[in-house]
């Protein structure tokens, strides 16, 4: 274990120098499965916000805080998917884990808080807006969406995505085949968006954040367990993943242990921090309700 902590103490400068200055060079990724959706989403959102603010006034329809959340989430997602981190993730497990955590625990909650879909709809022609706007209220979609976004179901879906894609056959397939790799990223992003949406904006969450807090700690617990299994395992789970670890002065098993440490502590702190923030909102909201009831109680 000591080489891992020596690596952490010395920072990333030594490892990055070897990766970028040595035989292993990581460049930017401009594959269409990543760049096309990122550009399309950014263009739709920017156009929709500009149109909303031009018609309704600055900050109306999409608040300044929401737009900042969107920009922050989009930049984090783009950094994870097209920066040299993505290329490094193909051969360095620690880089792969950082990429995944940026997608699920950093970009996803910011994008959910931005609530970008209404603004994106405003970028489309009026006829398209009316047609697409009817979809959430038609057929079986409302009931299906209501069930899918219950905190329990969303937590299970997100947890299954994490554990299944870390099964060695699926993980190695993602490393060997680019389409499978992008499918892995899509599953992580979609399940994370579903998870955070259910905790922040589902009908159950509007009644109180108690359940959401429990689901956040449950997610921190099972992802932490997976991280611990990687950290203390005596064998390499994904042999293909450790090919580039030597460029970071890490043996493949140490690379895996460091990746487990990333999943266990930094990611766990994000989930725990979100739970504490929701607990604060829940307590303050309960306090306001009690004060209102005491002031306006009849009799």
Which of 185, 187, 117 is closest to 159 using CA atoms?
Answer: 187
One digit per residue, the tens of pLDDT, for the chain of length 299 reads: 444 444 434 433 333 334 433 334 567 888 888 899 999 999 999 999 999 999 888 888 899 999 999 999 999 999 999 988 888 888 889 999 999 999 999 999 999 999 999 999 999 888 888 888 777 777 777 788 888 889 999 999 999 999 999 999 999 999 889 899 999 999 999 999 999 999 998 887 767 777 889 999 999 999 999 999 999 999 999 888 877 888 778 889 999 999 999 999 998 899 989 989 888 877 876 555 554 444 444 44
Cβ atoms of residues 86 and 59 within 8 Å: no
Interatomic CA distance for residues 162 and 153, integer angstroms: 14
Interatomic CA distance for residues 73 and 289, integer angstroms: 33
Which of 9, 116, 30 is closest to 65 using CA atoms?
Answer: 116
pLDDT number for residue 286: 58
Kindly report the backbone phi and psi dihedral angles of residue 241, in degrees, each rounded to the nearest multiple of 5, phi listed first: -75, -25
pTM score, whole prediction = 0.84
The pair of three-digit structure tokens given for residue 127, joined into one six-digit string: 């006829």
Interatomic CA distance for residues 70 and 151, integer angstroms: 23
């Amino acid at each position: 274990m000591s080489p891992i902590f020596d690596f952490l103490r010395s920072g990333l400068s030594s490892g990055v120098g070897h990766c970028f200055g040595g035989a292993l060079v990581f460049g930017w990724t401009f594959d269409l499965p990543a760049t096309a959706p990122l550009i399309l989403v950014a263009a739709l959102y920017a156009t929709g916000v500009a149109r909303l603010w031009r018609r309704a006034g600055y900050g109306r329809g999409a608040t300044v805080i929401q737009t900042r959340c969107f920009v922050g989430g989009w930049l984090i997602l783009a950094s994870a998917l097209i920066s040299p981190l993505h290329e490094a993730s193909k051969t360095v497990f620690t880089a792969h884990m950082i990429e995944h955590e940026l997608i699920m625990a950093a970009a996803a909650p910011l994008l959910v808080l931005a609530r970008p879909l209404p603004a994106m709809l405003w970028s489309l022609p009026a006829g398209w807006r009316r047609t697409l706007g009817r979809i959430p209220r038609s057929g079986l979609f409302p009931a299906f969406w209501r069930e899918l976004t219950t905190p329990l179901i969303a937590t299970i879906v997100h947890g299954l995505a994490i554990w299944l894609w870390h099964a060695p056959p699926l993980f190695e397939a993602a490393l060997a085949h680019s389409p499978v790799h992008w499918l892995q990223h899509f599953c992580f992003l979609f399940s994370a968006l579903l998870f955070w949406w259910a905790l922040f904006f589902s009908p159950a969450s509007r009644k109180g954040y108690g359940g959401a807090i429990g689901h956040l700690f449950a997610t921190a617990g099972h992802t932490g367990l997976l991280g611990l299994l990687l950290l203390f395992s005596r064998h390499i789970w994904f042999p293909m993943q450790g090919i580039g670890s030597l460029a970071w002065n890490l043996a493949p098993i140490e690379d895996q242990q460091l990746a487990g440490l990333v999943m266990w502590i930094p990611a766990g702190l994000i989930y725990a921090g979100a739970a504490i923030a929701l607990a604060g909102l829940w307590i303050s909201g309960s306090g306001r309700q009690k004060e209102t009831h005491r002031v306006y109680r009849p009799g």
